[in-house]
Structure 1
Amino acid sequence: MDRHRFRNILSIVLFSCDLVLTKEVIYKTLGSKVKLVCPIGTTRDIIWTGPPEYKIYAVGTDVSSHVSTLLEIKETAPDKKSVLFIHRFTKDTSGEFRCSDGVNEREFNLVIKRDPSDLAIVNATGGKIITVEGREHNLECMVTSGQPGGNITLSTDGAVVAINRPSLVSYRLIPQRSDNGKLFQCEAFNSEGNSILESSVHLEVFYIPKISFSPNQTLTVKEDEEARLICINDGNDPDANTVWKRHPTNTIITQNDKLNFKSINRIDAGLYTCRVDTKTGVYEDHAKIVVQCKCSNSRYAIFSERKKMVCIPSGVPDRYMFKDWEHTTEYNDHIRFLPITKEGNNAILTFPQNVTRKDQLRDRGIYICRASNNISSTDGIFVMQKYNLNWNGSPYFVSSTENTQYGVYLKTARIKIKFVSVPEYTSYDVYKNGTKFAEYTPTVHRNIRLTDNIYGKNISVKGSSISFQLQIDTIDDFSSYNVFVKNAIGYSNRTIKLVSASAPCMPTILQISAKQTQIFVLWIPGFDGGFLQWFIIEYKEIGDLYWKNQTTRSSNSIVIGGLQPATKYLIRMFSRNMIDDSNRTDFFFIQTDKYAIVETSLSVQSVVILSLVIIIALLVAGMGLYIRRLKERYRERMEPAINVQTPEGTFGESAHYTEIIEIDNLQPTSQENNTSIMSMINRDINLVSAEHTSTSSDNDSDSSEYLDDGYEKPYTTLVVTDQVKDDHVYLTTTKTSDYENAIPFQNVASGHACEIVIEDYISDKTNTHDDQENWNLNYDVNDFYETNDSVPQIYIYPQIDKAEYINLSLNQ
C-alpha cells in the first residue's frame, strides 16, 4: 500500500480529512425533520459524522448508539445512495455533517432557521425624527438579521426609497417644509420575501425662520406718537425665543416679539435687531425706525391744513386743456368729479378743510388727471395720470356696519363691525353698558373688500371686519355693545344694539297674473326677523283638499308653472327664517286662460304644401284684381252714354261704387289696431332683449311659440287698496275683458304686527315697477322661466369710453 492511500485511510480512522469537495448549507426550523442525501455513489460503506466535533453517527447502515434514537440511515432505491434521516431537529444536532467513503466526502452545514428580529429606526424618539429644513439627514434602520438573511427597506408615500440586506438600510435626504410630518416606514423581510417586522416614524422638520416686520421694516412715525414694531418669524418652533437689541450697543431692550414705544422720541430713531433663537439655530435681521419732527411748516402735519394736488403736463405745444379731476377707489369704483383750478399750465385740486379725521379718510383714493394739447394720437386726445392719495387718520366705521344686529336666546350670536383704518388698527375693546366686556371669541379679517357710502355713492373700500361671537344666556345679553377700535392716530367707537331675532313678518302680495299654464306672483317682503328669509307660495285648485307649494329665495316674485288651462286656483303665501314662519296671507282667487298653446312642428312636405297654397292664393288675388280693373275700365267707357240719358242714375251708381271702394280700404278696428300695436311692441321688445340680455338661445326659441296665436291675452294688475296712494303704480292696463284673471286685494297686510308701507317700498324699489311692465309687455313673446327665480330683467349697458394714457407728472 503506497503512502498516499495509507494517509487517506488514517484520516478516516482519525475522523478528520482536509479534502472537502463541496459544502451545502441547509436551514431548518427546530423540531422539523431533516433529510441529508450523500451524493457519493460507491460500493464502500459511507461513514456519517456530525456535531459536535465530527463524531461518528453511522458506518454503513449501522447507527451509533448515542444517536440511535435521533436518526436512522437508509439507502435510495435506484442508486443505493446513503440517506441520513433526523427525526426531530434540535439545537444539539445543528452544525456541520460529513459523509465519506474514504476517498470522497461531502459536507453539510445544518443551520437553525429564524426570522429577523429587533427592528429599530436609529435616533427615533416617540415615533418622530427631528430634522432641520435644508440640512442633510441620514435616515437609518437596523435589524438583527435572520437565518438566512432577507431584505430590509425604507419607503414613504407608498414608494420604496432605499433597500439593502441583511441588517441595515439608510436613506440620505435634504428635508424641505413639504416633508414636515411625512411618514417613513422600515420593513424587514425573510428569505422568502415575506414582511416579518415593520416600524414607522414621522419626519418633523423644523423650519429655518424667515424674519419679517410689521408694519414695515422701516417704520416712519411722528415724534411723541405711539409706535409698535413687531418681529415676525415664519418658523414652526413653538419654543422659539425672540429678543430686540439696540444698535450699536447690542443691549437687549425687550424679550418678546413686540417693540413698543408709548411716546416715541427722536433719540429712539435708529437701527434695531430682532434675534430669534430656535431649535434650528439663531437668526436675526434689522429694522429701522425713522422719527419725524413735528415741524410747524409741514404740509401734512396738521389735518385741518389746506392741501393741494398739482397736475403738471408736458408736451409740444404746451397749451393744455384739462378735464375735471376724477376721484375713484382702489377698486376703480367712481366716487365723484372735482372741478379744476388752472394756474398757468398746471391743474390744481384744492382739498377743503376737514373737521373730522373721518372726513379726511373719505378723501383717500385714486385721483385721475386728464390733459390734452389737441394733438391727437391713434389712441385719443386726452392722456391721464393716476395718483394714490393715502392719508392717515383714526379708524372709521363704514356705512354697511349694522347698528342693530340680532341673536337668538340661549344660542350663539355674532356682533360684526366693519371699518377702515389707515394706518392699521392696533387694538380694540368692547364695552357692555359702560363696563368692559371680554366674554367673546373674536374673528378678524384684514384687507377685505367692504361696502361704504362715500359722497352719496355705494362703493368698495379696503378695510377690516371683526366678528365677536358671544353666548346669549340671559335676557340681559340683549343689550348695547360699544366697540372701540384704535390705531396709531386715534380711535373711533360704534354702539351696536343686539336685539332678539324673531319670525319674519308676513309678505304683502301686490299682483297675481295668469297665463294658460302659469301664474305670476309679485309681493313685497316683510321684515326678515334678523335672519335670511325665504318664501313659500301655496296654491291649489278649487275643490282640492291639499295645498301644493313652491319655495323661492327671490325677494319679490315667482312664476308657478305646470298648471291646467281654464282652471280656478287659490293662491296664498308666507315667509320663513331659521326662527319660525310668518303668518299666511289671505288666499286669492285666479283663473288660468282657457286657450292652451299647442306646439306644432311642420315637416318639409307641409312646408311645400303651405308654400303652394300661398302662391295659389296670391295668383287668385292677382286675377281678381285684374278682372276688377277690367270691369272698372268697362264702366268708365259706359259712363258717358249713361250720363247723357240718366244723370240721376249715374250719380247713384257712382256713389255705390265709391262706397264699395271705401269699404275695401277700411282701417282695422280699434281692437285690431290695439292688437297689432301690442304685437309690434312685443316684437320690438323681443329684439331689444335679444341684443342686451344674456338669455340662452333655448329660451329665445321657446318664446316663438307664443307669437301670433290669434288670441287676445289681457292681464290687469291687481292693486292693493287702502294702502297704495299712487294710482298709476303697478297698474299696467285698465282694459277689461271676458278673460280677466285678476282680483283687487282688500287690506292685504291689515291686522299684522309687521306693517309695511307699500308706497315707501315702491319708492325704494323702482326697478320692481319697471320689471313688471317689462313682464306684461313681453307676455306673448318671452315666456316665463319655469323656475322659482324672479322674472328675467333686461339690462342695457352703456358703452365705456376708451383712452390711451401716458404719464403725467403729479406733485403734491
Structure 2
Amino acid sequence: MNVLTDPPKIEVTFEEHKPHRELRCKPSGVPSNYTFKEWEHRTEYNQLIRRLPNNSSVLNLQYIKGESDRHHDRGIYVCQASNNVIMNGSLFTSGEMFLQAQGKPYFVTSNNKTQYGLLGNMSCLTVEVVSFPGMTNLSINPDVLKDSNDKYTVDDVQVLDTVYSKSVFVNGSRITIPVNVKTDKYFRQYTVKVSNQNGSSSLNVTLESASPPEKPLILDLKPTKNQIILKWRAGFNGGFPQTFIIQYRRLDVQYWNSISVKDNTIYTYSIHGLTPGTEYLIRLYSTNTEGNSSLSKEVLITTDDTNDNTNFVFLLLIVPFLIAVAVLYWQYKKGKLRPLERISCCKWQPFIDAGGIGAVENHFYENQNNEVHNAVAQNMDMPVYNSIERRAHLSIGQCVSYSATPKRKPNPLGKNMIDIACFGASSASGNTAESKCPDELNYIDVCFAPKPSGHKFQIHGSDNKTDYVDIDFSKRICSFAESERNSDDDFSSIDDIRMMRKGQ
C-alpha cells in the first residue's frame, strides 16, 4: 500500500505585542512531525547578519539597546523545517519573511566625522543615514545653507553599516550639504540633524582646510630576477583622494620611470620588466588636488642574477655527493667498511681420483704469509692463490675460483697467531697491502668446476724429449763413524775431523 508523503510548505508570520515580538514558523506537510533548524537573519541584499539559537517554530525577538532602537532588527528572517521527506535532494525546506522594522533615523557607522574643504571654493559635507519611515526634516548648525543658493540633496544608496557586530550593506540615504568657504571661519564643527515621525538623530562633523598629502614611507623592497615588489605606508591624504607615483631608474641612467597607483587599502606594487643583476634606485611620492607630497628617501636595490638558479641547482646536486663520499671515507677509516675483493682463476686440472674432487690443502696461512710480505716489500706481482697453483698433485683439469674477504671475528689462537693468521688485504695483482694486522681471522672460499667430459691428458713434447741430467743409482753414500763424545752438541772441530781420517 502506497503511503502519501509531502514535504512541508512553510509560512512565516510576525506578531508584536509590546514589548514582545514573535516570529512564527508554520509548516504544513505529510507526515506532520517536524524538525527545525536555527533561524537566520539576513539583509535586504541576502547578506547573513546572524544565526539565532532557537530550534523551534517560534522566535522571540529580544529588545537590545543600541541595536533594536536603530531598527537593526530590520531584514529577512528564514525558517527551515523537515518532516524527513526529501525534496530536490534536501530534507529541509525553508520559508522567509521580510521584517519592516521602523524607528527614528540613525547615522551609519561608516560616516567620516572629519572632512576637508578649500578656502575660497565651494566645499561639501557628506553624511549617510538610515531612516524608516523616510526623513521629514534636516537642519545644520550653524546654518550654512543661507549663504549658498544651492540646497542639500538626498540620494537613496547602499550604505555600509555595522549590524549586530557585522559590517553589511543596507538601504539608506546620502545627504550632501554645500558649504561656501569664504573665510577661515568656515573651517569649524557642524551639527547635522535629521528627523522622521519616530524621532530625530544628530551627528557632529568637522570641516578642515585641505592640503597636499603627506610623504609616503617605503617599508620593504623584495627583488627577483625581473621585478621588484614595493611595499609602502601612506601618509595623510590632505583631505582628498591621493594618487601614488612610483619612480625608478637604473643606477647608470639619469631618467626616472614613473608609475601611477590609485589610493587603496593595500599599498603594494610590483615593478616588472627589469634587467637581472642590475642596480636600481626606487622612490615615490603622493599627490592630490592640492598638490604633491615631498619625495620619499631613495633606496638602492639589485635584482637577482640569472646565475643564481644555476648555482643553486649545482649546489643541490654536488653537496649530497660530497657528503656521501665523506661518510664512506669516515666509515672506511673507522674500520666499518672493508674492501671486498673477488679473485678467480680458471685452469684445467685433472681430478685426483675418478670418483670426484680431491681435497685441497689450505696453505693460505702457511705459505702465503711470508710471500705476501715479501711481495709488498719488493712491489712484486704475486697473486694470493699461488700456493694452490703450486700443488704438485693438482694437475691440469680443474677450474678454481675463490674470494678472500676479511671478517671481524675474534682469533681463537690468540696474539701468538697474529703474524700467521692475518695480513694486509691485497688486490688481485698483489701490488698493495695494508700494514695493519688486527686480531682477526681471514677465510677463503674455494670452488671447483666439474671436469669436462672427453678431455684427454697430453704432455706436449714427450715424444722428443731431451735428458739434461744423468743419475747413477748404483752409487752409495759412505757413513761416518759415530763420535764417542758424550756431548749432545753436533759441532765438530777441525781436530776431530783429522782424528776421524787417521782412524780410517
After the TM superposition, which residues 559-598 of structure 1 pair with which residues of structure 2 at under 5 Å, given as runs?
559-595=270-306
- Given candidates 250, 271, 280, the residue that maps to 1:541 is 250
Q: Structure 1's 362 and 444: CA in aligned 2 closer, same or farther, altered over 3 A?
A: same
2:470 maps to none
Q: In the aligned structure 2, how far is the partner of 1:360 from the partner of 1:534?
A: 37
Q: CA deviation at 1:374?
A: 2.2
Between the aligned partners of 1:472 and 1:573, the Cα distance in structure 2 is: 32
List runs of 5+ in structure 1 lacking aligned partners. Answer: 1-297, 599-631, 654-812
**One-letter amino acid matched to 2:146:** A
Tell me, in whole angstroms, the C-alpha distance in 2 between the residues paired with 1:594 and 1:584. 29
Indicate yes or no: 2:201 matched with 1:455: no
Deviations 1:623-648 (A, max 9, x none): xxxxxxxxx99949898432499976
Q: Which residue of 2 aligns with 1:532?
A: 241
- Residue 98 of structure 2: aligned partner: 388
1:504 matched to 2:213 = yes
* Aligned partner (choices 315, 334, 338) of residue 29 of structure 2: 315
Q: Are 2:127 and 1:439 equivalent residues in the alignment?
A: no
Work out whether residues 403 and 495 of structure 1, in 8 Å CA contact, stay in contact via their aligned partners in 2: yes
SS across alignment from 2:185: helix
Which residue matches 2:202?
Answer: 493
1:475 Cα deviation (Å)?
0.7
CA contact (8 A) 1:516 1:596 kept: no
The Cα of 1:341 is off from its aligned counterpart by 5.5
- The percentage of aligned residue pairs carrying the same residue is 33
The change in CA–CA distance for 1:353 and 1:515 in structure 2 (over 3 A counts) is closer
Q: Which residue of 2 aligns with 1:472?
A: 181
**Corresponding residue SS for 1:438:** helix
Q: 1:637 to 1:316 in 2, by over 3 A?
A: farther
Q: Is the 8 A contact 1:357 1:394 kept in 2?
A: no
- CA deviations on 1:215-274 (whole Å, 9 max, x unpaired) are xxxxxxxxxxxxxxxxxxxxxxxxxxxxxxxxxxxxxxxxxxxxxxxxxxxxxxxxxxxx
Q: Distance in 2 between matches of 1:491 and 1:392?
A: 13
Match in the other structure for 1:324: 38
SS of the residue 2:131 aligns to: strand
Q: Which residue of 2 aligns with 1:143?
A: none
Rounded Cα–Cα distance in structure 1 between residues aligned with 2:44 and 2:198 = 22
What does the per-residue CA deviation read over 1:515-561, in whole Å, with 9 as the maximum and x for residues that have no partner? 33322211122221221111111222224334332221164122223
- Looking at structure 2, the residues matched to 436 and 517 of structure 1 have their Cα atoms a distance apart, in angstroms, of 56
Q: Does 1:520 align with 2:234?
A: no
The answer as to whether partners of 1:357 and 1:393 remain within 8 angstroms in 2 is: no
2:352 corresponds to 1:642: no
Q: Is the 8 A contact 2:102 2:132 kept in 1?
A: yes
Show the counterpart of 1:550.
259
Report the 3-state secondary structure (helix = DSSP H, G, I; strand = E; otherwise coil) of the residue aligned with 1:359.
helix
Structure-2 separation of matches of 1:301 and 1:436? 44
Would you say 1:424 and 2:186 are equivalent positions? no
Amino acid at match of 1:390: Q
Give the drift of 1:482: 1.1
Aligned-partner Cα distance in 1 for 2:180–2:307:
58
Within 5 Å, which residues of 2 pair with 1:161-172? none
Largest Rg, 1 or 2: 2
Within a 5 Å distance, the mapping from 1:637-676 to structure 2 comes to: 640-643=402-405
**2:64 maps to 1:350:** no
Equivalent position SS for 1:531: coil
| Aligned counterparts of 2:144 and 2:403: Cα–Cα separation in 1 | 118
Q: 1:648 to 1:338 in 2, by over 3 A?
A: farther
Matched ranges for 1:404-423 at <5 A: 404-423=114-133
1:34-73 → structure 2 map (5 Å cutoff): none
CA contact under 8 A between 1:419 and 1:464: conserved in structure 2?
A: yes
Q: Which amino acid aligns with 1:464?
A: S
Residue-by-residue CA offset, 1:364-413 (whole Å, 9 max, x unaligned): 00011111122222331111111100022111111122111111111111
8 Å contact kept, 2:70–2:105: no
Q: CA deviation at 1:426?
A: 1.7
Alignment of 1:677-696 (within 5 A): none
Following superposition, the deviation at residue 480 of structure 1 comes to 1.4
Whether 1:399 and 2:113 are equivalent positions in the alignment is no
CA contact (8 A) 1:430 1:482 kept: yes
Contact 1:368 1:386 in 2 (8 A): yes
Provide the C-alpha distance between the structure 1 equivalents of 2:283 and 2:67, rounded to a whole number of angstroms: 52
Aligned mates of 2:123, 2:230 — CA distance in 1: 35
1:213-292 equivalent positions in 2, closer than 5 A: none
- For residues 133-161 of structure 1, the C-alpha deviation after alignment (integer angstroms, 9 at most, x for no partner) is xxxxxxxxxxxxxxxxxxxxxxxxxxxxx
Contact 2:16 2:22 survives alignment (8 Å): no
Structure 1 distance, partners of 2:144, 2:242, is 34
Instruction: Determine the C-alpha separation between the residues in 1 that align with 2:426 and 2:207.
Output: 94
CA distance in 2, matches of 1:479, 1:358: 33
What is the aligned partner in structure 2 of residue 698 from structure 1?
none
- Name the CA distance, whole Å, in 1 between partners of 2:340 and 2:426: 17
The 2-side partners of 1:429 and 1:321 are apart by: 52
2:60 aligned counterpart, secondary structure: strand
**Structure 2 counterparts to residues 175-214 of structure 1, below 5 A:** none
Q: Are residues 1:340 and 2:102 paired?
A: no
Q: Does the residue aligned with 1:394 lie in a helix, a strand or coil?
A: coil
Aligned-partner SS, 1:376: coil
In structure 2, what is the equivalent of residue 623 of structure 1? none
Q: How far apart, in 1, do the equivalents of 2:205 and 2:426 lie? A: 94
| C-alpha distance in 1 between matches for 2:426 and 2:29 | 87
Q: Tell me, what secondary structure is at the counterpart of 2:305? A: coil
The code of the aligned residue for 2:92 comes to: F
Distance 1:651 1:337, change over 3 A: farther
Compared CA separation, residues 596 and 527, structure 1 to 2 (3 A) = farther
Deviations 1:453-506 (A, max 9, x none): 111211111111110122111111111111111112111111111111222122
**Contact 2:136-2:197 within 8 A present in 1 as well:** yes
Paired with 1:301 and 1:312, the residues of 2 have a C-alpha distance of 19
* Per-residue CA distance 1:152-197 (angstroms, 9 max, x = gap): xxxxxxxxxxxxxxxxxxxxxxxxxxxxxxxxxxxxxxxxxxxxxx
Report Cα offsets for 1:33-65 as digits up to 9, x if no partner.
xxxxxxxxxxxxxxxxxxxxxxxxxxxxxxxxx
- Cα offset for 1:451? 1.1
Q: 1:439 to 1:311 in 2, by over 3 A?
A: farther
TM-score by length of 2: 0.57
TM-score computed with the length of structure 1 as normaliser: 0.36
Partner amino acid, structure 2, of 1:373: N
